Amino acid sequence: MAPGLLFVYTDVGAGPVTEEDYHDWYDHEHGPARLTVPGLLGASRYQALDDLTPRWLALYQLSGPGVPDSPEYKAVLEGGSDRDKFIMSHLATLDRRIYEQISEDGPGGDGPAPVILAVANSVPADMEDDMTAWYQQEHIPMLLEVPGWRRIRRYRLIGGSEPPGPDFLSLHELAGPAVLEEPAYRAAVSQHYFSLIIVSFNDTAQTDGEIVSDMGTTGDYRVVAVAPSTVGQYTIWAYEPPSTPGSHGHG
């Protein structure tokens, strides 16, 4: 079975849920409850560096894309406290996307990546094979030659919120934000075919975000987040480790 990913945008907006309540809920109730579900291997949350919305992104690593349909996961949803249900129903944004992993390249590293570049896109069905071939034969090899480019995982959307998110997602693990300034990266994204793929994207946004929390399978984690801004025609997130680890409370 291929690994899965639960990709979730949230934002409190101007509603009755304060950011303080939101983070306390996520740290001490929402996150720890989900980490008890078999097959949910760990999670990280991210915060955008800008002030655009949605501000928060959570990435849940799954043993398979069917984990959110499991009885154990559904029991956690249905058994939530009144506070859990109130906050979930009053978030300004709750956008869930369930992806199945289709490829993995590069050695990666230990723990959450210092920087993640996320590219979400949809292309016409008759372009999917060409896009996959381009990724595998040209784009991924070029990116893995960029100093500091550690790993690339690609996913296909299989479910989630309505309207659905982009059909494909690429998560790129980088050693730091400076990697995006490397000449080899600029060369990789200046390819003619890259520009053709970009103008075919149906979901477009760009975000820079800072990692402030990592959730492991023990339930001992710090809070994290992310948010998009529309720049160009692809989704991009970059995250840096916090300067003072543990500055946000543990669950």
The per-residue pLDDT for range 179-199, each reduced to its tens digit, is: 888 999 888 877 656 555 554
Task: Classify 52 as helix, strand or coil.
Answer: coil
The Cβ-side half-sphere exposure at 54, using a 13 Å CA radius, reads 18
pLDDT tens-digit map of 73-102: 999 999 999 999 999 999 999 989 999 999
Residues 6+ apart with CB under 8 A from 141: none
Identify which of 35, 44, 15 has the alpha carbon closest to the alpha carbon of residue 225. Answer: 44
Q: Exposed, middle or buried by CB within 10 Å (0-12, 13-18, 19+), for 13?
A: middle
The answer regarding whether domain 4-215 maps to CATH 3.40.50.1000 reads no
- 216/1 Cα distance (integer angstroms): 22
Report the distance separating Cα 46 and Cα 55, nearest Å. 8
Q: Quick one: tokens of 219?
A: 């339930």
Per domain, the residue ranges of the chain are: 4-215
Residue 63: which residues within 8 A CB-CB, separation 6 or more? 1, 3, 4, 38, 39, 40, 41
pLDDT band for position 239 (cuts 50, 70, 90): very low
Stretch 139-168: mean pLDDT, rounded?
A: 91
pTM for this one?
Answer: 0.77
Portion of the chain with pLDDT greater than 70, in percent: 74
pLDDT of 151 higher than 90: yes
